[in-house]
Copies of this chain bind each other. A is one copy, B any other.
């Protein structure tokens, strides 16, 4: 396996755009990534498209990648559609990495797309998203994502003393960060009081502690390290790209996640670094409690101290380890299949020093994490990608 660089990234603004077709969002993201890389569409040798639920949303059950890429003139190459729930985009990134790292191709494209408002109803979109759990078991129990995360929050509070204020401060931080990101969906700062008094979704999680329903696309161009120098003076190297699934155990403590601990360990080992070497992390904060639990699971802070870290500002911009400078899912939005690729774009911008007002100064190493799928059984998919500038 040889070293791989990311040489171009692009994304649409995330938000609610029911009038825009998924193919149009894909085109915009891909074109931006291609222009950023300074290449032609004809230079792309293989492509992967991450998407989770568009089949149920629009009836386009198949070949979304081929349809979107045709719009940019990317045809006649291997294109494969990838689904791993909320880790669809990051799993697609990983397949693109394997394709280049293997030596089979020199230049790969990854695209992530989701258009959650295209269903025309919140109910239909919610039903499609609930299909990320194990429908035959969890679906019948009513174990939707907000309800499971609410139970996890309650358990985390009971076990570690995590407070409502700490939960709310995740949203306060991420919405503040998102105001510095023009691609972010929720463009407003909020107070702890505003977060806690927003509409209750699943006790204790209020509306502003839940990632919004979003549309959007993101893309990245990957290239062998040896060829990257022909395109950029700032190649960003893929130091680790890990995907794993859980080890089914219904007796497991729900305030931790074995799959995330394992994925993180593998990624740090592969990259040859530790959490202390990170300059920033994009962590899958689908709910406020998710960011707290996940910075613990990923080893970014000690077990049970996620709430304290947030409250003490250690994960803020300028803190010990800025988490979700992009605004994360809570602010930027969560167009499921696009999310993992957008995280990659965010890391690349920081590692190049191009992240604008939210730039983490001197950032050299960043981590991106996604988890998705089967909830209680922990058999979904978790990805951890570590990039070096």
| Majority secondary structure of chain A interface residues (helix, strand, loop or mixed) | mixed
Say whether A380 contacts B98, CB under 8 Å. no
Q: Which residues of B contact A95 (CB under 8 A)?
A: 80, 95
Nearest B-chain residue to A63, judged by Cβ:
B373
A21 interface residue (CB < 8 Å to B): yes
Nearest-Cβ distance from residue A260 to partner chain B, whole angstroms? 13
Cα A273 to Cα B25 with chains together (Å): 42
Contacting residue for A55 out of B55, B70, B136, CB 8 A: B55
A16 interface residue (CB < 8 Å to B): no
Say whether B136 contacts A23, CB under 8 Å. yes
Which of A126-134, A151-159, A314-322 forms part of the interface with chain B? A126-134
Which of A99-107, A189-197, A219-227, A229-237 forms part of the interface with chain B? A99-107
Cα A297 to Cα B247 with chains together (Å): 45
A62-B83, A84-B81, A136-B21 in contact; A102/B1 too (CB < 8 A)? yes
CB interface residues, A 30-60, toward B, < 8 Å: 52-53, 55-56, 58-60
Q: Which residues of B contact A303 (CB under 8 A)?
A: none
Cα A103 to Cα B1 with chains together (Å): 7
- This chain: copies in complex: 2
Say whether B84 contacts A374, CB under 8 Å. no
A381 interface residue (CB < 8 Å to B): yes
A91 interface residue (CB < 8 Å to B): yes
Cα A53 to Cα B130 with chains together (Å): 16
Q: Which residues of B contact A88 (CB under 8 A)?
A: 62
Nearest-Cβ distance from residue A193 to partner chain B, whole angstroms? 36
A246 interface residue (CB < 8 Å to B): yes
CB interface residues, A 244-288, toward B, < 8 Å: 244-248, 259, 262
- Chain A residues engaging chain B, CB cutoff 8 angstroms: 1, 21, 23, 52-53, 55-56, 58-63, 66-67, 69-70, 75-85, 88, 91, 94-95, 98-99, 101-104, 127-132, 134-136, 139, 242-248, 259, 262, 372-374, 377, 379-381
